[in-house]
Amino acid sequence: MRILNGRWSQLILGIICMVMIANLQYGWTLFVLPIDQAHHWGRAAIQVAFTVFVVTETWLVPFEGWLIDRIGPRPTVFAGGILIGLSWLMNGYADSLTLLYLSAAVGGVGAGLIYGATVGNAVKWFPDRRGLAAGLTAAGFGAGSAVTIVPISTWIATQGYQSAFICFGIAQGIIVMLVALLLVPPPHGPDRASSIAHGDLAPAQVLRQPVFWVMYLMFVMVGAGGLMATAQLAVIAADYGVAKTPVSLFGLTMPALTFALSIDRVLNGITRPFFGWVSDRIGRELTMFIAFGLEAVGIWMLMTMATSPIAFVLVSGLVFFAWGGIYSLFPALCTDIFGRRFATTNYGLLYTAKGTAALLVPFASVLRDAAGGWQAVFWAAAAMNAAALLAWFVLRPLRQGVHTRRSAALAVAAE
């Protein structure tokens, strides 16, 4: 069992847990139309469940992070496994919007416990490679649903969406609970007094830092565009008439939507360790400038080329590739600036920005209906990536100021 207590083993175990919760967010788009066809609740009303999931997954993470920092990842991830399994079971039997929203909330709490514990554990185990470790862990969440897109699509088509919810929900929950039993935190670092003296900030201190709120605003801006694409991709493909059109690429032939979802999940996973690794070498802010700028270009290309099935597949992949980097860049940068001791809680505070961004997702459907098409939604999503400019011209100087003040304080303390 000693080998399982090594940092690479713990990283792999965390990734497995993240793979098991990926479908709760990235597989959701497959269920929207079948649910609407069965109950006629309307797409906008059904997409509120997606927002409820993301809000509960993110806004409770600060409290969950506080809990994880104190009792460790094992019990919290185990509890998360129970909740995500229960959530999809409830989805399978939901016969009202109220129950659908309640199911989403249960799943959000469970996913937040798992996400917070595994990312927090990763950045604590790898102080020397935070970007890469956070990226690899987040890759499980980004790419984890890639292998199940085709099985879930097939299951929905042949057995019904209710059966897909129930069977996949049970499997995902059991696997997380088993893996949770093997999770351990890293050896204890310095005591609290020493930790704070060397730059580790407690959550209350973090909330008083202007640099935190700039990061929060950037997270909301970039997160909103990506979440809109995640939740609405199947609907966009249907509206543009490309969803079921066969596309042949890389020796494979699949309907455009299925192909796009599979490629998107893979690229959304690859991008997280990729941009994390890049940021370890060239800096977080420059990497953000590149990634967010690339996403703006990708969204503009999708807006102009979405009626082509092949272009829809390839360009949507570019959008997800550029967007996924936020889930390695922000936790690594947060720990860089505010320290390791309270890393899970502090990143939990920042991660609530994803929940704030999710509040904008239902408005995409409203904006689409009001404008009579997706053009206005695409323009809004592209504009959100002005966060690229904030990264370089605002965040970078603020971070440098934090490090300058910290170095000066340590120098005075050493005298």
Q: What is the pLDDT along the chain (415 residues), one digit of tens a residue?
A: 556 678 899 999 999 999 999 888 878 888 998 999 999 998 889 988 988 998 898 888 888 888 888 888 999 999 999 999 999 999 999 999 999 999 999 999 999 999 999 988 998 899 888 899 989 998 888 777 777 878 898 999 999 999 999 999 999 999 999 999 999 988 865 444 445 445 688 899 999 999 999 999 999 999 888 777 777 888 889 889 999 999 998 888 999 988 888 888 788 788 889 999 999 999 999 999 999 999 999 989 988 898 999 999 999 999 989 988 898 899 999 989 998 888 888 998 998 998 888 787 777 778 888 888 888 888 888 888 989 999 999 999 999 888 787 777 666 666 6
CB burial string 277-310: b at 16+ within 10 A, e below = bbbbeeebbebbbbbbbbbbebbbbbbeebebbe
d(CA 268, CA 263): 8
d(CA 302, CA 50): 23
Question: SS3 for 207?
Answer: coil
- For residue 114, give every residue at least 6 positions away whose Cβ sits within 8 Å of its Cβ, in sequence order, or none: 17, 18, 20, 21, 76, 77, 80, 81, 84, 176
How many helices (H) and strands (E) in the chain?
21, 2
Which amino acid, 322? A
DSSP one-letter code for 94? -
d(CA 287, CA 293): 10
C-alpha count within 13 angstroms, C-beta hemisphere, residue 397: 4
d(CA 200, CA 209): 13
pTM flag (> 0.75): yes
CB count, 10 Å around CB of 370? 9
Q: Which domains does the chain have, with CATH numbers?
A: 2-414 (1.20.1250.20)
d(CA 75, CA 274): 30
Q: How many residues does the chain have?
A: 415
